Amino acid sequence: MILQQLTDRIYYLPCDQEYDRPTLGYIQGDNFSVMIDCGTSKQHLDLFYQGLLQRSLPSPKFAIITHWHWDHTFGMHAFPGLTIANQKTNKQLQYMQSWSWSDHSMKERLQSDEEIEFCDHYIRLEYPNTNDITITTADIIFDKFLSLDLGGIHCEITHIGWQHADDSNLIFIPEEKTFFVGDADSEDFYHNQGKYHKKPLEDTIAYWTKQEFNWHLHGHTMPKTKKELLEFLQQELDTLQ
Ligand SMILES: [Zn+2]
Ligand SMILES: [Zn+2]
């Protein structure tokens, strides 16, 4: 099966480290369904839709974007429904629409530290012709919090920020006690060479300690229980001491 089933109404396309393709989520409501993130490209999104077809699941009406990074947003142009992002994410997408994807421009952005080697490498891998890159902004833009009632199940979207990207959202599905987190609790790749800042990591651990949930779905790892997540983050903190 292309899509994995996590709970009664939640499915996901697992992340693919070979292309740095992140987890794509799916939440099935009685009235409509939503997906989480649009992935790296049309090809990545197409794979997700093949997975829906295979399981006879209805197409999502909305896609909720977790944060602006290319691997979560460059598939947006190919999504047939409406996309939802917070103001910060949407501003950054707007800004990136002005970027040229010529080899020269990409190298310039590396030199000015606007882009990092890690992403440059995977963008070129996903796009043999980088001129195929199309960036679109979101259809629905919110500020701090947005709740969706899918019928029998809800998505609560909170703009949390944190160190990985200051526009990161957490998406909580209370009925299934599941969080989609994008990369929110990951390291800071753009300003700290892919390492954690200590104090913000302590704050993140304190946040998760207080939440009640069964599943934590990150953009680039397999689902974790609360216990597994806290053990993992504590290990990361210990290496910083
Ligand atoms: Zn990512
Ligand atoms: Zn990211």
Q: List pLDDT tens digits, range 166-218.
A: 999 999 999 999 999 999 999 999 999 999 999 999 999 999 999 999 999 99
Ion ligand 2, residue ranges at CB < 5 A: 69, 183
Q: What is the residue range of 184's domain?
A: 4-240
**Nearest ligand to the CA atom of 188:** 2
45: enclosing H helix or E strand: helix 42-54
Total number of domains in the chain: 1
**Closest to 43 in 3D by CA, of 1, 80, 78:** 78
pTM, 2 dp:
0.97
d(CA 67, ligand 2 centre) in Å: 7
Domain at 217, CATH number: 3.60.15.10
Q: What is the pLDDT of residues 108-142, one digit of tens each?
A: 999 999 999 999 999 999 999 999 999 999 999 99
**Nearest ligand to the CA atom of 40:** 1
**Closest to 67 in 3D by CA, of 50, 89, 43:** 89
Ion ligand 1, residue ranges at CB < 5 A: 22, 71, 183, 219
